[in-house]
Structure 1
Amino acid sequence: MHVPDGFINAPVSAVTGVVAAGAIAVSLKGARRELDEKTAPLAGLVAAFIFAVQMLNFPVAAGTSGHLLGGALAAILVGPFTGVLCVSVVLLMQGILFADGGLTALGVNITDMAIVTTVLSYAVFRGLVKVLPRGRRSLTVSAFVAALLSVPGAAVAFTLIYAVGGTTDVSITKVATAMIGVHVLIGLGEAAITALTVGAVIAVRPDLVYGARGLRQRLKLRVNGELVDAPGTVAVPVAARTSRRGVWAAGLAASLVLAGFVSFYASASPDGLEKVAHDQGIDKKAEEHAASGSPLADYGVKDVSDARISGGLAGVIGVGATVVAGSGVFWAVRRRRTADASPASLPEGV
């Protein structure tokens, strides 16, 4: 759903740029409360993982594909404020290095793919968590539903933005119908990826998952060879099975494999927005990307003739650049939080 240059006029692009900048400023402040010594290293990895999985377009209908947006996944794993920053870092890397998503449309893309998906999905997730029994299964189900709804939600947001600032005269009703229809299907893929990833991390390190904080399991006793719940309301924290370093290493390895190898087998069909834009004629004024001459444009390394090697190298470079950029941002945010909490920064007498 990366919006290219030329789809949205300059005034609306500028307004969404201001909205995106404001949301990022708020998120930088909010992320200080979400990030701690456990989750700060994970946040950069989440950004890199989203970058990698976004390279894996999956078929959803004849001649149409979809890919992960990542807002729900990021919000549930590291928190909504940090999630906005994670997806924004990914979009910035894609726009600058890979000519994916227009630079003048960066505000549109951050507003739609980072802010709308993260806020909507986390609101749905928290609402479901409050009414469902608190456990691993319900958290995974909540993640599935939240991710599923976030994608058509982003499609609606794009349609509204296009209705105000679109550069071609087309039927907004037809655009909305087509966008929502195809993105409901893409949402199923988003939901599956999100639920599987969240469930996998909860299974090994639930304490690292922001949306699973406070997760408890009933204390079990063995009676006559059978496990039964202990009497009363006794509960114990879910035990961690893998070290933080192990989770980080496994996540980075998975990201590199997905971007460097599996991405070669991704669907080559246009994604939902590209397909709708072509069918409905809203791409008539699309402009060439300002970074189209980048050595990594279109997810390939310039002057490397072998498509498999070119795409794989580009994916690995992208994962590396994203994890470095993301980790740098979140390290700075975490350091600021530590500085704010230091004795020297507290009022006298505290």
Structure 2
Amino acid sequence: MVAGRTSDVVVAMHMSDGLLDAPTVAVFWAVAVVGLAICAARARRELDERTAPMAGLVTAFVFAVQMINFPILPGASGHLLGGALVAVLVGPWVGALCVAVVLVVQALLFADGGLTTLGASIVNMALISTFVGYGVIVALRGLTRRSRGGLVAAAFLAGLVGTVAAALGFVVEYAIGGAAPVDLGTVLGLMVGLHALIGIGEGLITAATVGAVAAIRPDLVYALRGSAPVLELRTTGSTS
């Protein structure tokens, strides 16, 4: 997410009311509802006594960290989206639900983004960011399962790419039904340029968090499920 103002449009991943026209709002609410319903159905198969508490902890962590903004340029700041982070730790299906819960609470209790555009925000930050981030992890599976350093590097790239992908989702939605007096080229340049910078911060936070969890409890890292390195990471530093 980036906070800043150009003309009359707030260039932020948490969309404000009135930024999209009514038909576009309705379409992306439908996409969000269907997407989350699919995630919920798939998440039921993965949640158990070990993963359910982890999902709760991850949701609380993302909520807390999203409240902290870091400066990227004069007059602009960003914060963690969390999509790649939750995808690595609890998987994309559960992870998308975790981020969606955070977005709903922020919109209802803190007025962070509009309620009419909440569906579009969920599509960008809960669905696109999470699944694109997880796609990067899958593409780099050989690297993630080779060593903890490889996992950390892949997590960084997942955070960076997932953030830029979410920004592009915003641009597509604005291109379809933008209702603010700012041309598409300006929105594209600002969103992609600024979120590329935010993506670096996102990647660093994701990498640091995933690395810390993998160092202590690699068995809780979804991206390492079924891999031999889980056992190797767990026994690193131990003596026989």
Establish whether TM, by shorter chain, passes 0.5.
Answer: yes
Q: Does 1:37 align with 2:49?
A: yes
Bigger proportion of residues as helix: 2
Whether contact under 8 Å (1:16, 1:108) holds in the other structure is yes
Whether contact under 8 Å (1:129, 1:138) holds in the other structure is no
Q: Give the whole-Å Cα distance in 1 for the aligned partners of 2:24 and 2:200.
A: 30
In 2 relative to 1, CA 203–170 (structure 1 residues): closer, same or farther, beyond 3 Å?
same
Which letter does structure 2 place at the counterpart of 1:147?
Answer: G
User: Match for 1:212 among 221, 224, 228?
Assistant: 224
- Gaps of at least 5 residues in structure 1 are 218-234, 242-350
Residue 33 of structure 1, CA deviation: 2.5
Aligned residue in 1 for 2:103: 91
Q: Does 1:26 align with 2:38?
A: yes
Q: Does 1:158 align with 2:153?
A: no
Whether contact under 8 Å (1:95, 1:103) holds in the other structure is yes
In 2 relative to 1, CA 236–147 (structure 1 residues): closer, same or farther, beyond 3 Å?
closer
Residue 34 of structure 1, CA deviation: 2.3
Residue 135 of structure 1, CA deviation: 1.8
TM-score of the aligned structures, taking structure 1 as reference length: 0.62
Whether contact under 8 Å (1:74, 1:80) holds in the other structure is yes
Residue 134 of structure 1, CA deviation: 2.0
Deviations 1:270-310 (A, max 9, x none): xxxxxxxxxxxxxxxxxxxxxxxxxxxxxxxxxxxxxxxxx
Whether contact under 8 Å (1:216, 1:236) holds in the other structure is yes
1:124-163, aligned counterparts within 5 Å? 124-130=136-142, 134-163=146-175
Aligned residue in 2 for 1:53: 65
**Which deviates more, 136-145 or 30-39?**
30-39
Aligned residue in 2 for 1:110: 122
Residue identity over aligned pairs, in percent, reads: 52
Q: Give the whole-Å Cα distance in 1 for the aligned partners of 2:235 and 2:220.
A: 9
Aligned partner of residue 7 in structure 1, secondary structure: coil
Whether contact under 8 Å (1:204, 1:240) holds in the other structure is no
Which letter does structure 1 place at the counterpart of 2:63?
Answer: F
1:245-324, aligned counterparts within 5 Å? none
Q: Give the whole-Å Cα distance in 1 for the aligned partners of 2:173 and 2:69.
A: 24
Aligned residue in 1 for 2:211: 199
Residue 131 of structure 1, CA deviation: 5.4
TM-score of the aligned structures, taking structure 2 as reference length: 0.89
Residue 168 of structure 1, CA deviation: 2.4
In 2 relative to 1, CA 192–170 (structure 1 residues): closer, same or farther, beyond 3 Å?
same
Q: Give the whole-Å Cα distance in 2 for the aligned partners of 1:39 and 1:214.
A: 15
Residue 132 of structure 1, CA deviation: 6.0
In 2 relative to 1, CA 22–157 (structure 1 residues): closer, same or farther, beyond 3 Å?
same
Q: Give the whole-Å Cα distance in 2 for the aligned partners of 1:36 and 1:174.
A: 46
Aligned partner of residue 137 in structure 1, secondary structure: helix
In 2 relative to 1, CA 132–98 (structure 1 residues): closer, same or farther, beyond 3 Å?
closer
Aligned residue in 2 for 1:185: 197
Q: Does 1:11 align with 2:23?
A: yes
Whether contact under 8 Å (2:84, 2:159) holds in the other structure is yes
Residue 51 of structure 1, CA deviation: 0.6
